[in-house]
């Protein structure tokens, strides 16, 4: 019996740690805020997104979680309320993949209550690659074109932006305990980025002839698309004309349903420890 007790005590920390692991899932929508989508939170032009990850509970109310989220973002001047911006006639789409590590704090212990609000914050790394379709329907990736003069000797301060960036995720949500091992919830997570080029749009137009000579006709075609509008005669803007706003960086966000699945039941040894009862010797 002594061996059984010693073995139980040896395995107890492993059991307790195992009971703190969860598999997490997410399904919802993704969107962005920038020069082609000025609303901070909206479902307009949103797209489906999903994620998968893991969570470890350090205590009843504090956890660290990490995982991956996939989504798509887009924006189009055609739905803009400003007539001048509609005449710019730009649009983009981009797939987006994020890996993150987050700290989560819950107001209540879900082993004691059936629901809890929570907040989270952390760090993430994401990849994106904005593209559009030309008038012939061909998919064109925008970053290599340097539509704002990136990479040209005439504009040495404009470099090609990186398609892998760091973000600061934060947000809030609410979770409901469905069973002892399963939770469902809803959360909104904002992402502060350090780039203004999620939509390939930030500063001013560059000289048309310089862009044509340095980056080609396709760059000129997609840097300004007002000439594609019907019944409107618009010329390519002069060098230095405002194309986008670079004072505020772009944001993206996810919102939707979360699910958590605890890998091991929280009853048993850990339950006895929480209740303050002693380990009982097995009876023969």
Tell me: the pLDDT tens digits for 20-51? 899 999 999 999 999 998 888 888 899 999 99
Query: CA angle at residue 212 from 206 to 216, to 5 degrees?
Result: 125
Question: What is the rounded distance in angstroms from the CA atom of residue 27 to the CA atom of residue 47?
Answer: 11
What was the pLDDT predicted at 187? Answer: 97
In a domain, 118, yes or no: no
Query: CA angle at residue 143 from 141 to 144, to 5 degrees?
Result: 85
What was the pLDDT predicted at 8? Answer: 44
Question: What is the rounded distance in angstroms from the CA atom of residue 188 to the CA atom of residue 49?
Answer: 13
Looking at per-residue confidence, does 254 or 7 come out higher?
Answer: 254
Between the two ends of the chain, the Cα-to-Cα distance in Å is: 10
- 273: pLDDT confidence band, cut at 50, 70 and 90? very low
Structural domains counted in the chain:
1
- 267: number of Cβ within 10 Å: 13
In a domain, 262, yes or no: no
In a domain, 77, yes or no: yes
What does each C-alpha distance from 142 to 54, 66, 205, 260 come to in angstroms? 35, 31, 15, 38
pLDDT of 63 higher than 80? yes
What was the pLDDT predicted at 265? Answer: 73
In a domain, 7, yes or no: no
In a domain, 239, yes or no: yes
- The answer to whether the beta carbons of residues 188 and 194 sit under 8 Å apart is no
- 277: pLDDT confidence band, cut at 50, 70 and 90? very low
Question: What is the rounded distance in angstroms from the CA atom of residue 109 to the CA atom of residue 107?
Answer: 7
In a domain, 284, yes or no: no
Domain assignment of residue 86, given as a range: 27-49+58-99+123-165+193-255
What does each C-alpha distance from 218 to 7, 125, 138, 144, 223 come to in angstroms? 71, 30, 11, 11, 8
In a domain, 116, yes or no: no
What was the pLDDT predicted at 39? Answer: 81
Q: What is the pLDDT of residues 134-151, one digit of tens each?
A: 999 999 999 999 999 999
Q: What is the pLDDT of residues 84-124, one digit of tens each?
A: 888 999 999 999 999 999 999 999 999 899 999 999 999 99
In a domain, 4, yes or no: no
pLDDT of 233 higher than 80? no
């Amino acid at each position: 019996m002594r061996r059984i007790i010693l073995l139980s005590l040896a395995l107890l920390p492993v059991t307790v740690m195992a009971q703190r692991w969860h598999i997490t899932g997410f399904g919802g929508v993704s969107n962005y805020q920038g020069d082609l989508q000025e609303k901070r939170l909206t479902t307009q032009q949103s797209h489906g997104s999903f994620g998968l990850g893991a969570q470890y509970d350090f205590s009843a109310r504090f956890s660290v979680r990490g995982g991956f989220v996939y989504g798509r973002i887009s924006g189009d001047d055609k739905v803009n309320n400003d007539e001048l911006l509609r005449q710019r006639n730009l649009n983009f789409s981009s797939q987006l993949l994020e890996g993150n590590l987050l700290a989560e704090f819950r107001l209540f212990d879900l082993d004691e209550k059936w629901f809890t609000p929570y907040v989270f914050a952390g760090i993430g790394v994401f990849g994106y690659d904005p593209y559009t379709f030309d008038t012939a329907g061909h998919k064109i990736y925008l970053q290599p074109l340097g539509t704002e003069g990136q990479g040209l000797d005439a504009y040495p301060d404009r470099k090609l932006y990186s398609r892998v960036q760091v973000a600061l995720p934060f947000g809030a949500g609410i979770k409901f305990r469905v069973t002892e091992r399963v939770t469902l919830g809803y959360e909104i997570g904002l992402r502060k980025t350090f780039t203004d080029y999620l939509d390939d749009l930030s500063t001013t137009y560059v000289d048309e002839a310089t862009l044509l000579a340095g980056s080609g006709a396709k760059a000129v075609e997609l840097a300004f698309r007002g000439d594609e509008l019907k019944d409107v005669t618009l010329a390519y803007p002069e060098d230095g004309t405002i194309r986008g706003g670079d004072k505020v960086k772009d944001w993206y966000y996810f919102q939707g349903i979360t699910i958590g699945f605890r890998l091991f039941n929280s009853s048993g040894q850990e339950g006895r420890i929480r209740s303050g009862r002693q380990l009982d010797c097995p009876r023969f």
